[in-house]
A and B are shown apart, each in its own frame.
Chain A
Amino acid sequence: MSLIREIDYGTPPSAETEAVSLTIDGNRVTVRAGTSIMRAAMDAGIQVPKLCATDSVDAFGSCRLCLVEIAGRAGTPASCTTPVAAGMVVSTQTERLKQVRKGVMELYISDHPLDCLTCAANGDCELQDMAGAVGLRDVRYGYQGENHLAATKDESNPYFTFDPAKCIVCSRCVRACEEVQGTFALTIQGRGFESKVSAGMAEAFIESECVSCGACVQACPTATLTEKSVIEIGQPEHSVVTTCAYCGVGCNFKAEMRGEELVRMVPFKDGQANDGHSCVKGRFAWGYANHRERILNPMIRDRIDQPWREVSWPEAIGRVAKEFKRLQGAHGVRAIGAISSSRCTNEETYLVQKLVRGGFGNNNIDTCARVCHSPTGYGLKATFGTSAGTQDFASVEHSDVVIVIGANPTDAHPVFASRLKKRLRQGARLIVIDPRRIDLVRTPHVEAAYHLALRPGTNAAILNALAHTIVTEGLANEAFIRERCDGSAFEHWASFVSEPQNSPEAVGVISGVPPETIRGAARLFATGGNGAIYYGLGVTEHSQGTTAVMAIANLAMATGNLGRPGVGVNPLRGQNNVQGSCDMGSFPHEFPGYRHVSDNGVRATFEAFWGRPLDAEPGLRIGNMFDAALDGSFRGLYVQGEDILQSDPNTHHVAAALAAMECVVVQDLFLNETSAYAHVFLPGSTFLEKDGTFTNAERRINRVRRVMEPRNGMADWEITLAIGRAMGFEMPYDHPSEVMDEIARLTPTFAGVSYELLDKVGSVQWPCNTAAPLGTPVMHTDSFVRGKGNFVITEYVPTDEKVGPRFPLLLTTGRILTQYNVGAQTRRTANLAWHDQDVLEIHPHDAEQRGVRDGDWVRLDSRTGATSLRARVTDRVAPGVVYTTFHHPTTQTNVVTTDYSDWATNCPEYKVTAVQVAPSNGPTGWQREYGKHAEKGRRISKIAAE
């Protein structure tokens, strides 16, 4: 294995299609028109010296090393900023160029520390390379002149340092922050010799608007911006390309290693989902893998009030099998089940459902997608025929109008957000539908044309009102509807949305959005060119989550925005493998590939292949499992990589259900909150320690590659195999690739997928089969998977969770950039520097009425429970709405959320809870009790450990 060094072409590729031929140093080169001379030269294998150019940002022309001479043209133009022209004859090496380049390098080095041997970038420094390339041997100016060598280092960011003494002011960091990330946190301050890189208004990085995405660090050609891990460890010597295990964007990274030690994660340029970009989580927040709290040995206990006892793997697995068999014997085959994780690989989730269906003999398998995107599966299948988004991420580069509804991409899907912001800066228009003023509403060089700040719980009404405007104002795309959609379904739908209760005027009253704003947004979306809709959990996590997904699909069909780049319905998946875990048959009613368990033909195929009879009845969903546990008919649960106690709604209810079970098996990296109720703890492995695949929000199947041995001794998939074996259900695989081969064999949409193919082409988007051997970036191009597009009536039904005198405010929950989900990983990294606790956002008006000041402790009460946290007074939320995150178990936000759920899928209604807020003097009694209980649940018996 060696260190992967991607070619830097210096400037981005040209988007033009015309071919142009020219001669560079005697070589004939043919490239696309608009290509820089520098890139054309690189195509011909000629490296023109450069420092300020890198192909992730536009040419800048400041370092003046890449100058060339062009026959018939005066002067020495920069090859990075000069495009090719037909017949051009370019020389990259002449005596004059040699002198100028040496002259420039001499100037650079006259203001640069000469500590190469002890510099963190030694061996990975472009300045060093260039000094060598131009043959600089002497700095005649001496080193006594004016310089920046005494400039102070900024070490405030937990992950990287900024050493201005080493800065060559090439602006690559500034440009990366602007062009790649779109945050505009960096600038050049001062002029002339005093020009220097500055975070914000000359602030420390940590205090500035910097989001720590790392694009600047990656762009820096010297040691100026360097990962602290590189400073500590040294330069990596080999790298492995893998896929991030955080959000549903699915960024590819090079895990750069020194031996078994991970030095840094560098976004992979050929990563098709991320195009070489990253966010603070994927790039930097991997330290949890080595966190001291990580559990590396299996543990068991008889009762949950006992301390844990470390045991061998065979003993732990044996205990699981024995208990599960006992429970099935005593309470029936359906008395146990499992929950798989959207953070684990496709192969692992496939195996867990296989274990349940084949080994347990029932369909009690569910996954955490239940509590996030299950409505997407149901809603898009009913309308289009496929439970997945329609586009690839690159599609947004062709969008003219973008609706972002119930999603906060800059926090939750930052790398996609950067792509979206880039398109918006190019002039695409934006409509935000969200109760909260998310960053996209107004961020540097981006401003939403419309922000529909609706009351939580009124998505379906707003979407119907948009449709009402489009239909009644004659803005529907009739040709598309006629050709592609079910005519009678459209007629029914059109007459429904045209009814007065769906008019913007009527919906304005319900939603609090001015009718003219709704109409304006509808007109823009229908007439503004390619229209794309991106949505998240703000759509799905409602009692009408599925209805709203269908309403989105209706809107896209009515405006003809499907089946080509730039349009589509795009669910932004929360976790890395939500799409994949759903694809893999993690729902209790479906086999892999979304085929119902009652389908005799499909079931027969699986029965034949697995050699076991399979249950034709749907199994229990997560919430149903809790209910069944409380009535005594469900006794044992295997939870892989999911902290249901913290992440599922109504914590009291979940805790009672867990406490009612006789055998709870938790497989995780850490003793999470759920483990306080567990009887067996099986230590899990991180994404760095196993092979597999993740499927991201764009249906892209990405490879996860093992970069180090599993510290716990077994990869997660091997643990599931062990449980199956112990229960008498042998699943014979030596490697996850064999699991994928089985998936491909049994699942038509995955028929063409293999590790061999993925290793060859990087990634593919399903469907991948003989009809589409390299996958399908855009779906429904000629016809919908279900045939004709189906319009579904989406009547607005208010949730039963209502505000009243006792609970006058609506709580909506979400997440924040630096933390991820329940925080099991990110809370165990330096990301705490940005977000060390959950806070409650409350409007100044509501705060004033309650005597709440910014930073005060407040008590948050709902019908189901109460918790306390600190308040942040901000007009980001509307009056009447409060907002918080659920990253910290010390808050346990879900203690206040309710049992209400989506009608079709039981996806919990996290986004609407009636609450009251009052000043408080600290954590509630329950929080203190809970803290003690959780602490007790984590005790590990010393004696047993010895």
Chain B
Amino acid sequence: MTRIFIPQDAGARAVGADRVADALRVEASRRGLDVTLVRTGSRGLFWLEPMIEVETPAGRIAYGPVTAGDAATLFEARLEEGGAHPLRIGKPDDIPFLKQQTRITFARCGIVDPTSLDDYRAHGGYRGLARALQIGQPGVIEAVTASGLRGRGGAGFPTGIKWKTVAETAADRKFIVCNADEGDSGTYADRMIMEGDPFSVIEGMTIAGYAVGATRGYIYIRSEYPDAIRSMEKAIAVAVNRGCLDDFCLEVRVGAGSYVCGEETALLESIEGRRGQVRAKPPLPAHKGLFGRPTVVNNLVTLATVPAILADGAEHYAALGMGRSRGTMPIQIAGNVRHGGLFEAPFGLTLGEIVDGIGGGTASGRPVRAVQVGGPLGAYFPRALFDTPFDYEAFAGRDGLIGHGGVVVFDDSVDMARQARFALEFCGIESCGKCTPCRIGAVRGVETIDRIIAGDRRDANLALVEDLCQTLKFGSLCALGGFTPYPVMSAIAHFPEDFGRPKLPAAAA
């Protein structure tokens, strides 16, 4: 029997993975071959999707990008034995894009059958929980603190401290909430884990629950991720059946299309069945979160990383990275880029290494002009800043943010005034409407940028936009309004020529 692995990741399915699977099944059966198709997550090399892998005595051999029409020629080339074919890539681990990575969080993604608990265990799953139970609750919090793990949703808050706060807050009930409302443009790490290695989320949440004394958890998934929702629900059902969730109850909650619901307090409101609207802090969710109880709200990547930290030791994880950014970050390279995909690496790569080196420049072949890091509220960085290392503090030092790790590449055809307008428009569309700067400011911002684009009193209107950005930055209730100035102001600062101002001196460019 030969096993062929075909991703069922939504990214792979979008480019025909299901049709490929059907074609391979039909072709194998027509040829009377004993072939089993295993649907996995994606390895994250999206320009090679659908990338299929075949199990051979020498290890897995990858082919891609495969179309349904390739089925016949693949089998003619003795696919089941890893035979030569124009689409044959070779051993996946030898692909430079994968070879250069340090996969901790994504170690199993694309390899295991996401519905198989046995597969999960066979690949190291539940070692973390076992270790957690061994070292006890304070031990777990200590280990997570020592690992230097910070919130991967974007805020970068030390996870261990958050857990400690919840653990130390007395209450009749506590909750673990996994934030899988992955709304940032150009990001997909959460989705890939849910579709490729959902048990790591379950294990991570179970460990968190054990550490802080919570017996119930919610995974809040955006409605735009139907595959991830199915995958997560299936994994929970398997875990329940197999007795893995006897002491910790897990439930999937589906969002309703609001970007703001990725903000932790709006997310809690949404789970509680209310209008998805940001709460003022304090109280922190760690003190008064879901249903007024102490709550750990962590990004999915954060939680999915915990089992590995426990299993292999905090020191192992903490040894990676730079400065106060320890461990690895799943960088999601997207936009106008040649090699788009998920690249997990220790913190510290420069933006240039990521975009030009790993990403291989633009897909259009034109020069890279700007890169937006950290989602729609991240700053636009020009080539002049490509020496910035991928590190929370380094990006903050240059008025940027790494956010959830999304990197979106633009070539020289981009109009940065339009991008600035888009940032404000996005803020306006996604505003929950609670705080004034965001609710009214976003609309006024678009109107003012339109006047700038139209050449109407440019200087006065640019000054007004700058004032508005100050109001948004210091006055907004949450990061939506508070961070909208990043893309706007970075576009104005680094690309003044697009706003009718003189270009910056060439030396900087």
Contact = CB atoms under 8 A, between A and B. Distances in A.
Interface of A: 59-64, 67, 75-76, 78, 80-83, 96, 99-100, 103-104, 107-108, 110-111, 140-141, 145-146, 168-169, 171, 187-188, 190-195
A81 B280 contact: yes
A108 B437 contact: no
23 contacts: A59-B280, A61-B435, A61-B477, A62-B434, A62-B436, A64-B475, A76-B474, A80-B280, A96-B474, A100-B470, A103-B467, A103-B468, A104-B471, A107-B444, A108-B436, A140-B467, A145-B447, A169-B439, A187-B275, A188-B275, A192-B428, A192-B431, A195-B434
A193 B280 contact: no
B235 to A, nearest CB: 32
Interface in B430-448: 430-444, 447-448
A191 B432 contact: yes
A60 B477 CA distance: 10
Interface in B417-462: 428-444, 447-448, 460
B336 to A, nearest CB: 29
A145 B444 contact: yes
Contact of B474 (A67, A110, A193): A67
Contacts of A64: 435-437, 475-477
B32 interface: no
Given A83-B282, A103-B468, 13 more contacts: A62-B280, A64-B476, A75-B474, A76-B474, A81-B281, A104-B471, A140-B460, A140-B467, A187-B275, A191-B430, A191-B431, A191-B433, A193-B433
Interface in B449-508: 460, 464, 467-468, 470-471, 474-477
Contact of B464 (A63, A99, A141, A146): A141
B258 interface: yes
A63 B440 CA distance: 11
Interface string B137-179: 0000000000000000000000000000000000000000000
Nearest to A168: B436
Contacts of A103: 437, 467-468, 470-471, 475
Contact of A108 (B280, B440, B470): B440
A946 B444 CA distance: 69
A562 to B, nearest CB: 28
Contacts of B258: 191
A193 B425 CA distance: 11
Contacts of A61: 280, 435, 477
Nearest to B476: A64
B258 to A, nearest CB: 7
Contacts of B431: 191-193
Interface in B74-98: none
Contacts of B441: 107
Nearest to B440: A107
B396 to A, nearest CB: 12
Contacts of A83: 282
**Residue among A60, A62, A104, A168 facing the most chain B CB atoms (10 A cut-off):** A62
A192 to B, nearest CB: 4
A831 to B, nearest CB: 32
B439 A192 contact: yes
A461 B429 CA distance: 61
Contacts of B474: 67, 75-76, 96, 100
User: Nearest 7 CB-CB pairs, A to B?
Assistant: A195-B433, A61-B280, A103-B471, A192-B431, A81-B280, A107-B440, A64-B475
Contacts of B434: 60, 62, 171, 195
Given A100-B474, A191-B432, A141 B281 contact: no
A47 B275 CA distance: 31
Interface of B: 258, 275, 277, 280-282, 428-444, 447-448, 460, 464, 467-468, 470-471, 474-477
Contacts of A100: 470-471, 474-475
B437 A146 contact: no
Contacts of B447: 141, 145-146
Contacts of B440: 107-108, 110-111, 193
A509 B471 CA distance: 69
Contact of A107 (B282, B432, B471): B471
Contact of A193 (B443, B460, B464, B476): B443
A192 B475 contact: no
A193 B442 contact: yes
Contacts of B281: 81
Contacts of B438: 192
A146 B440 CA distance: 9
B428 A193 contact: yes
A141 B437 CA distance: 13
A103 B441 CA distance: 9
B278 to A, nearest CB: 9
A194 B431 CA distance: 10
B433 A107 contact: no
Contact of B432 (A110, A145, A187, A192): A192
Nearest to B432: A191
Contacts of A190: 433
B430 A192 contact: yes
Nearest to A140: B464
A193 B433 CA distance: 6
B475 A76 contact: yes
A83 B283 CA distance: 9
A140 B442 CA distance: 15
Contact of A195 (B439, B467, B468): B439
Contacts of A146: 443, 447
A192 B441 CA distance: 10
Contacts of B429: 192
A82 B282 contact: yes
Most A Cβ at <10 Å: residue of B258, B281, B434, B467 = B434
Nearest to A112: B440
B471 A188 contact: no
A409 to B, nearest CB: 25
A104 B436 contact: yes
A81 B282 CA distance: 7
Contacts of A76: 474-475
A96 B431 CA distance: 24
Contacts of B442: 192-193
Of listed A96, A168, A193, residue having the most chain B CB within 10 A: A193
Nearest to B444: A141
Contacts of A191: 258, 430-433
Nearest to B428: A192
B437 A104 contact: yes
Output the residue of B429, B442, B448, B474 with the most chain A CB within 10 A: B474
A669 B437 CA distance: 54
A537 to B, nearest CB: 37
A99 B468 CA distance: 10
Nearest to A189: B275
A107 B437 contact: yes
A574 B464 CA distance: 61
Nearest to A141: B444
B433 A169 contact: yes
A104 B281 CA distance: 20
Nearest to A190: B433
A173 to B, nearest CB: 14
A141 B465 CA distance: 10
A131 to B, nearest CB: 13
Contacts of A63: 435-436
Contacts of B444: 107, 110, 141, 145
Contacts of A194: 433
A107 B436 contact: yes
Nearest to B477: A61
Nearest to A61: B280
Nearest to A64: B475
A106 to B, nearest CB: 8
A76 B473 CA distance: 10
A75 B483 CA distance: 13
A113 to B, nearest CB: 15
A192 B275 CA distance: 12
Task: Name, among A63, A80, A190, the residue most crowded by chain B CB atoms within 10 Å (CB to CB).
Answer: A63
